[in-house]
Amino acid sequence: MAAPLAGQAGAVLRDLALRSARLRARFPAVQLTPRRWLNLQEYQSKKIMADHGVTVQRFFVADSANGALEAAQRLKAKEIVLKAQILAGGRGKGIFNSGLKGGVHLTKDPKTVEQLAKQMIGYNLSTKQTPKDGVTVKKVMVAEALDISRETYFAILMDRACNGPVMVGSPQGGVDIEEVAVTSPELIFKEEIDIFEGIKDHQALQMAKNLGFQGPLQQQAADQIKKLYNLFLKIDAIQVEVNPFGETPEGQVVCFDAKINFDDNAEFRQREIFAMDDKSENEPIENEAAKYDLKYIGLDGNIACFVNGAGLAMATCDIISLNGGKPANFLDLGGGVKEAQVYQAFKLLTADPKVEAILVNIFGGIVNCAIIANGITKACQELELKVPLVVRLEGTNVQEAQRILSESGLPITSANDLEDAAKKAVASVAKK
């Protein structure tokens, strides 16, 4: 039987809400744009779902106003929804530099679709989640507009606490599910799935009941849930989130909007999906970093953070802020690092005109500190580093790393621990 979301596994959604709040509290002046390493446009996700038998709205994609008109005519729908295709959220309240307001429009007239598309395609759409100048819209999705008589929430995700996939659902959909998890936890249900046996008919049916589907819609919803689970496994997803998972007045269960997160480690067997990755909206520096397996997120400060591991990156940003500084980025080396990556990382950081100091904070577990040290000295020599560099290394082969740095003859400031490093980095900027 599905049970209200509780315990360690049930904390997944609550943790998401708390994490977002902590980020905002840590960096109130910094706008963070969360990104997946694989970015799919809405129409791409919907096509993947449709290809696996999941019910979505009928739609076409167009890259010109004339193409949008033809798509609207081919749909032969009572009402049409036109959606600008960008990765950022908040499209409905966005503004184009053509003067058009809103990236989502409803109309019954194909000619209106053409006129709207003319003001969308090739123009920049600005939302709360885009850069200040917005993002250029290259394609629009022309879809059949369906009335929604009731909205629910449904997701499948990998949960470490359960050692496998978990279904999460709520009869209260179409809203921020993290808020529901905090304010009305009794309205959220979970069901663990044995990954070896797969989803059982009774599990899917029970979840459909918990979501409030009744009569023939209950079995229809259960069938859709099973298809979503099969999709989840087949495409190596780590999360498939449908919000809203709704029903129409005509008695149809439809996945109206979905987010799919993929397991990056499965790229070798999901080449077709990963080839769809849309990097056109990334900052150029993010795409350049990805070429060398570096994870880069730009912030608006002036102290560059060069770390290994996302948790260490957050801690480094925190302690810089606590000591009166502002982080310029996180740049995560990850594990298995090579000297060439260290060099490229420094090249990226020094190319940013905002950067006035660099703080290297490495904990050598998997990472060999000596490799980092060699990479640092090579980068400093070849790039003729012009900003202060503070280095804190700890862990594997750290004595050898410290010897390499001290014998390099380079103006590198060593730090004993993270707080010492942060204070020295902030002080180096203050001196300018």
Show binding-site residues: 57, 90-92, 146, 243, 257, 308, 365-367
43 flagged as catalytic: no
Annotated binding site for Mg(2+): 243, 257
- Of 320, 382, 326, 377, nearest to 354 (Cα)? 326
Helix, strand, or coil (residue 381) = helix
Q: How many CA atoms lie within 13 A of 320 on its CB side?
A: 31
Please pick, among 42, 151, 241, 356, the residue that the annotation labels catalytic: 241
241 flagged as catalytic: yes
Q: How far apart are CA 384 and CA 345, in angstroms?
A: 14
- Of 216, 83, 101, 78, nearest to 147 (Cα)? 78
Residue type, 169: G
Annotated binding site for substrate: 308, 365-367
Q: Where are the beta strands (DSSP E) in 256-395?
A: 258-262, 295-298, 303-307, 329-332, 357-364, 389-395
- Alpha-carbon Rg of the chain, whole angstroms? 25
Instruction: Give the chain's length.
Output: 432
- CB-based contact 368:394 (threshold 8 Å): no
Residue type, 326: K
DSSP bridge pairs for 166 = 157, 192
Other beta carbons less than 10 A from residue 263's beta carbon: 15
Please pick, among 43, 153, 229, 343, the residue that the annotation labels catalytic: 153
Catalytic center residues? 153, 241
